[in-house]
Structure formats: C-alpha cells, structure tokens
Structure 1
Amino acid sequence: MTSSSTPSGGTPSSSTPSPDPTGGPVERARTDLANRLGVDPGQVTVVSSSEVTWPDGSLGCPQPGMVYTQALIDGSRIILEAGGKQYHYHSGGSRPPFLCENPSG
C-alpha cells in the first residue's frame, strides 16, 4: 500500500489487496465479517484494501437524517468477499473498520 492519498472524493490511492497479518484494520474487518456470517475467517478473502481521504465524517457511509463533520478525514476502504458476495468496510479518524451496507463512494 502506498502512503500517498487523494485529497478528496474518497478516491483510493491504492487498490492492491494488502492482507495485514498484524491484526490491523484488514484483519479486524475480516474477523468481524466472519463472525457476522458464522464462517471461518479463512473463508473471507480480501478483494482490495486502499487508503482514502473521505470528504466528510460519514466516511463514505452516510445514514439518513444524520449530520456529519464537513472535513477531510484520512481512512481506509476494505472490500471483502465471502460466499460470492462482496462486503465494504470503511474506517477513518479514530473509528475502526465497520461494515458499510450502502457505500456512497
């Protein structure tokens, strides 16, 4: 993964899959998804992991009726696959990866 980031739009600066064996964000997302689905983490594959700069505090996952900080926030977008379906995990600032069911970016 590169250390550069794109300044706006939640655009990835890298799209190379990057499994993180140290228990970093990718492994936390993978473990969370495996627990949600009731499968072994080995059945969850990393499609991509990229650093992004989110355009606001929604971290690319806005919820209806919510108001978000209007500031650029460095974070990550992790796409996992299990059972033929893709799942998007977003993180940013001090928030760890979370499942984003309706990603906006």
Structure 2
Amino acid sequence: PGFEGGQMPLYRLLPKRGFKNVWAKEYAEVNVSVLNRFEDGTTVDPVALVEAGILKNVRDGVRVLGNGELTKKLTVVANGFTKSAKAKIEAAGGKVVVPGEEPVAEQ
C-alpha cells in the first residue's frame, strides 16, 4: 500500500497541517448550573458526577465552568475552576477544593 510505481506517493505530496500535542491534558467540563441537582451540603467530586449521570468519562480531570447560577451550598472537588465558577460557589455558601493544592491559611 502506498507504492505508486516509483513516483512520489500521494501521501508525501500533500501538505501536512496542524499539530496535536500528545501530552495535553483533556478535562471534562461541568457548568455550575448542573450542580443544582445535588442535595444541599453534599460534597461533589468526580465520582459523584459520574454516579449522577452528569459525566460519562472523567478523562484527565474535571473543570468547573461558570455558566448558570448555583442556589445550593456545596463542597465542590475538581481539578480546576474558572474565576466566575469559584465566585458563584463561594457566594452560595459553598467551598471550592482542588486536590493537591494546599489550603490558604487565614491570618
């Protein structure tokens, strides 16, 4: 396959486009509005999101986006948060936790 009788094969003649970073992390994204499904005061982590049917695959982690409103007080555990998502969760009385990141001590 690919041999064309000595002339330059077509796959070598055509230009190659783009770049795919094989080490890039691919995060599953969840909007803040979806978190209203959970009971008030619960801890929402990737396992809870899969069990609730919100995510099928966690991939390399979960990132929470700030689309929508949150009305319940939740502790959300995820690999990343947008600034607006973090603000909305804390405004509702909830808590934001990033695994592996040390909590900031209040002085």
Q: Which has the higher strand share?
A: 1
TM-score under structure 1 length normalisation: 0.21
TM-score (norm 2): 0.20
Larger Rg: 2
Larger helix proportion of the pair: 2
